[in-house]
Chains A and B, each alone.
Chain A
Amino acid sequence: MSEQNPKKLILEYEDGSCKVVEFANLPGLLQRDLLRQPFAGGATPSLEGENSFVVLEWEDGWKEVFEIDVAYTDVMKYYVITRPEDVGRLSLGRADGYPELIELTRRPLGVKRIAFKREYAVEEGVNRREGKKLEQEYELTAGEEAYGPEMAAFLEAVAAVETTPQALLAMDEVEMIANLDSIRKDMGIVAGRRQRDVLNFMVFLAKKAAKTTG
């Protein structure tokens, strides 16, 4: 590398606890994202070591430079892929501030149900064209309280492994994670962007079920 390699990433929490991870064990894209941030020296030129650069110039005179690892020696090829991509945008409102935005790239035109506070049936609405952009809106029809199907599937999966929501919640952390993960697989549900989200959802279902089943 042309720059110094960080060794560890330390996360210090409000309660004083720390998590330490070897920098090299982080996903490569995350390493690059962290290293290009200004706090990591991203805006300070390096006077040490070798450097290697790619410079690109556009037909309108625009130029950009990319520093790359000195290990790379030649250009292989350049090409452009053009194809229409469908991206779904689900926005969630709050009383004050900007909305939360969840972007969906997995077959967004195929979403048929949204559950958040209430159950929403998703039906095709207005289709608009703006130049080359097509926008498909959806009508959301609110129904019952959210997560009914997930709760039913959860209770069925819990009964199938002959345990109870209360017993799950009483397990130690490692055992609870293993059991919740196994149950969520039986339910056919996965996390969209962070595994912890689906495990927290399982805990949410377990707590709710424990309340109603006494």
Chain B
Amino acid sequence: MLEVKWVGFDYGQCIMEPGGLRNHLVIGDICKLLGQPELIDERIYRYHQLNEQYGGYSKIKEGHRDEIYEYVLDGDSRAQELFGQKEQQYLDVGDGLIETLDWLQDQGFVLEVVSEMKKTLGAVGSDVVIRFLKTRGFTKYFPVIINPQGKYDMIEDALVDDRYVGKTKQGGDIYDVLAEDLRSRGIEPEEAVMVGDKPATDINPAHARGFKTIQYKGFIDLGPSDADIIINHFSELKEVLKKKE
């Protein structure tokens, strides 16, 4: 049992699960909406080719998004807009997460998102991560998101702490600033727990700085880590966390 006051959640493959982003849904819907259902198979094939070229859909989206538009979707600007919409529509939420967040909030834990926002597109605030958190109603649990572009208040749409700018989870320095930030709010690092899937960004650097850590393997198992606890379903958080008064 971990007795803490603050719970930080990773975004990708934790709050948001990309398992629902199936090509026959995203590309299929786009082609049908554009009146081109005959091109679905060809475009999915081209998307598979990009996947082989760059070694994964997340890598295509991080560095080769223009090729999705130009090569897969034939440079059609309407398709580009629809692609952004469909990506949002088919992203899933971790199983049992909402019920668990309700419970955590009822218990009085402070909840915040700590994200590397690597796949961020567009200015902070209108990027895909914050858009997802807002449209799915997560701001009622997480009013702020801490990321390498600063601490962002998603209710007020404002950058509220620029000490985080340029700091990363991978480098670990984002957790140095987070420790300072929490201390100023009366919370020590050992009274805070970070929940995430990636040992190299969510678990090990946070653990090394005195944070408690929980590795979530419900979507993907990224191997061993320094995590204090491993969970496979978000509902397990109710059994391993206790609010410290």
Contacts and interface: CB of A to CB of B under 8 A. Distances in A.
Interface of A: 27-30, 76-77, 105-107, 181, 190-195, 198
Interface range on chain B (Cβ under 8 Å from partner): 10 to 19
B29 A193 contact: no
Interface in B1-40: 24-25, 28-29, 32-33, 35-39
B42 A28 contact: yes
A107 B32 CA distance: 15
Interface of B: 24-25, 28-29, 32-33, 35-39, 41-42, 45-46, 52
Contact of B37 (A77, A107, A193): A193
A105 B28 contact: yes
Contact of B29 (A77, A106, A195, A198): A106
A28 B45 contact: yes
Contacts of B35: 181, 190-191, 195, 198
Nearest to B20: A107
Contacts of A28: 42, 45-46
B32 A190 contact: yes
A76 B37 contact: no
A27 B39 CA distance: 7
A210 to B, nearest CB: 24
Given A76-B52, A105-B28, A107-B25, A29 B41 contact: yes
A195 B38 contact: yes
10 contacts: A27-B41, A29-B41, A106-B29, A181-B35, A190-B33, A191-B35, A192-B32, A193-B38, A195-B36, A195-B38
Contacts of B36: 195
Contacts of A76: 52
